[in-house]
Amino acid sequence: MQKKGCLYLGIDPGITKTAPGFMAGLHVAPWLIRPEIIAVVQWQGVEEAAEFLRIVRMGWYPKIIVAIEKQWWWGSDKNRGYAISSLVANYHCYLGICAALELQVKPITAKTWQSIMIPKTLFAGNTKARSLSRARRRWGKDIEQYIKAKKNHGAADALNIADFAARIYKPRRGK
């Protein structure tokens, strides 16, 4: 039986082996007071992400919108070469997977979603702390299992990206 409403997937692609990608799924429907958290998943590689997205695509949701954070790199440091190669690979692999699964994709920049969802005027600290703070405030105890450690700010980012997409993007008819 198909669920009504729309599934919004927020993806923070991750850039290195020590900073893996996260995806969060929010079910949005008129009768829900706030979006329902369907899943928060951390993966270690593109293969895991592809399998999870394939399963989601075969699932109950008639409308799925994927908001993926655009990856970019500036500055210079000793890991720059590795970060650039993995960054490009991660981001573009996820775009390719979504295209192959015929998912509606909305690439967004970190600056765009962060300026709306975690503005400096409402939340203190750096972007990691602000993202964790907003996620805890929005979903309370529902998400503590995903973001116990500060290093798991990727899960909070993915939730905030999905919530941003739910506020900004409406599904196309027929998809």
CATH number, residue 52: 3.30.420.10
**What is the total count of domains within the chain?**
1
Distance CA 20, CA 54 (A): 19
Quick check: is 124 in a domain?
Answer: no
Structure confidence by residue, pLDDT tens digits, 87-106: 556 777 888 888 998 888 99
Structural domain span for residue 39? 6-113+154-168
CA nearest neighbour of 24 among 123, 164, 169, 170: 164
Quick check: is 81 in a domain?
Answer: yes
Quick check: is 122 in a domain?
Answer: no
> Contacts for 97-102 with beta carbons within 8 Å, 24 or more apart?
97/46, 97/49, 97/50, 97/53, 98/53, 98/66, 98/68, 101/53, 101/54, 101/57, 102/57, 102/175
pTM for this prediction: 0.82
Quick check: is 119 in a domain?
Answer: no
Q: What average pLDDT does the segment 45-63 reach?
A: 80
Q: In this structure, which amino acid lies at residue 30?
A: P
Q: Return the H-helix or E-strand segment holding 10.
A: strand 6-12
